[in-house]
Structure 1
Amino acid sequence: MAIISGSPTSGNDRIYADDANDIIDALAGNDSVGGGGGNDLIYGSEGDDKLDGGNGNDTLDGGLGNDTLSGGAGNDLLRGGSGIDLLDVDTAGNYTLTNTQGIGEGIDTLDSIERVFIDIRDDGNNFIDASAFTVGKVVLDAGGGGNDTLLGGAGDDELNGWYGNDRLVGNAGNDNLSGGRDNDLLDGGAGNDTFFAYSVLSGGANDLDTLTGGTGKDFFYIGTQYGTGYSGSGSATITDFSLAESDKIILTGSASFYNFKLENFGGSSSLDTSIYSSQNDLIAVALDVNVIGNNNAFIFAQANPGGLG
């Protein structure tokens, strides 16, 4: 057993333990601690600390400050302490998050965790469920190429699908949803949500995305910072655009860059607003609503290297 402790210090320390069962007290300062391979007990004490348990069944206690805790493999106890503390999860496969547990490659017990970042590092079809997390923000990042399902919690969450035919559900809160490439289903749920259905940098060539805002004032970005977001046979379908809820469609350029038509795509008795590029490529459809010429429905933003706006 290694015991690392001492008098309180204001230094910003880096401590890396071996594969023994270690007890580490990082004391004051903004410290970075790696537990190694044993069953470790790590105290962050004062400061904004980064604690990583590594392998083994570890106990991490952030103490004072805004800390970042990562349990690693094993069944860990992660206690944030005071401050706004972040649980950092790097996982392959499915993961379920509640206010008190994180269930993935192990079963972790959570206490005083206010923010969560979950990074999915494989190409499988993963199911990440944070719908029962109600105490703060979650960021769900499906960096692989599988067809993933990401369910946000009650906070103002960020969900990123990247590659694959993904399903993203924000649930409650003011969420940001980005489908990335391929054919995605995005549902904001309650709250004022923002949708980036395409890849922000490369656009949505041949991508067919379905966007459902849910209740609240929602923003649907159809243009990228470099121009039109969809090209080829790609387009977005907005299922529930609502002027009554002050929803907005954001397009790059000005209204003269686009052709707006009333057509029937959804098959109902109501006509839909279809939006075509100047090359007459369909880029978006707002079902069952006529918003042609309605200045309250659209925001036109100039393309620039720094983004839309």
Structure 2
Amino acid sequence: MMKKRGKAHGSGSGDDLHLKGRSGDDTLSGGVGNDKINGKGGNDTLFGGAGDDHIKGGTGNDTIDGGSGSDRLTGGAGDDVIDGGDGDDLIMGDGSGASASGRGGSGSGGVTVTFNDTLNGGDGNDTVVGGIGDDFVFGGAGNDILYGDDGPGSGSGSGSGSGRGSRGSGSGSHGSDGSHGSHGSHGSHGSHGSHRGSGSHGSGASHGTGSGADGDLSFNDYLDGGAGNDVLFAQRGDDTGVYTMAENLGAIDYYDGGTGYDTIILKFTLNELIDPGVQADLDAFTDFLAAHSDPTNDNGPQFNFESFDLTVRNWEAFDIVIIEGDNAPPSDLSLDNLSVDENDVGAIVGTLTVSDPDAGDSHTFAVDDTRFEVVGGVLKLKTSASLDHETEGSVLVTVTATDLAGESYAESFTIAVNDVNEAPTVSLANAVTSIAENSDTSGSTKIAEIVVSDDALGSNDLTLSGAQASLFSIVGNELHLNAGV
């Protein structure tokens, strides 16, 4: 293990230090000045300090902090954590462009490399390149350009040979401040290829060609532009992009998902989300994705959000996240009617009103009694349900209102079941079903006792009807055959 710390000399300008680690886990600090630091092998901790530093992590899982100044930070092989700090930085997760999966040509066996980096541009206008692996890429403050896989440069090289597996062709870019291309897929005794290309800050391509099989890698990256005017290219793989409206008020952002099934996460405060303009944009974006989503295409049409300055293309799905800070839970719940008639199937009870400090917030409802439901803010019985006063004179129902942020308020209501005057039923008891021939009917003859069943609401008047009704009479609660019949 090696520890070195640069020291400033003179009146504030500092020395430009050249520090190199060894194969162990080194800690190197540049201090003030434009320093060059190379951690080489091992899991190194490298600090640039002030000045425009050039830091390479080398192999191993390195931690790099550029400090202030416009730094160029390269993680190299391994799972690295890189923070650009202040200044306009160039950050590359893998650096040498070793971004192809080498596969043996006529020889045996290939090798697959995976470097999962965490890259944070920090303050300033940064260019951050994830390179190979499933990377976390954060722009931080400032006007940043983020790449999930390759940088903007391009280049190519080729080589071929025969025999047991050796180096095949490589591809990548030199460009201005470009990084070297990868060795590509392994052929046999092939040359590394000559690097050529153009563009600033280029990095290696994600596949190489040679006499062996082509490498073709895609990585699932997580990219967050942060505040400022950001340009984000997720590129290959099933990537996740993150945009936060509150961080980007007044900023203009461009997010490109590239190929793969990509998801953009849109973060809003509750008040931002319930804005009618934002809601209209989200509805339109839903329709846009249904019409244009294509994981195989990286040249799809653009969608412009009108309520905030974000332009997107080549995304397949989106999620909404409500961030904390300004949401208050519902504070009260009222019901404008507390009774319902018995035997009324699907009866409406009343309208619910939610009190919520967040003006314009919307709510969903849940009822603990499964016979009830809330439709359009109205509490009612389901279409197959009714209540019976004789079984239960009242019902206790608890309704829970939940806002968009998941905050809820519950209130219990006692619903009276009204006793409705139900129709009486009539039956005959001790009925005479036949009269012997030649019986004396000079007086009226009792045929049956009339039994009335009722709920005791209202009075009952007995009458006779039918074709033979004139042959009978009602005497008290008895049915009589009239005299002389």
Q: TM-score, normalised by structure 2?
A: 0.30
Which of 1 and 2 has greater Rg?
2
Q: Higher helix proportion, which one?
A: 2
TM-score normalized by structure 1? Answer: 0.46
Query: Where is the strand percentage greater, Structure 1 or Structure 2?
Result: 1
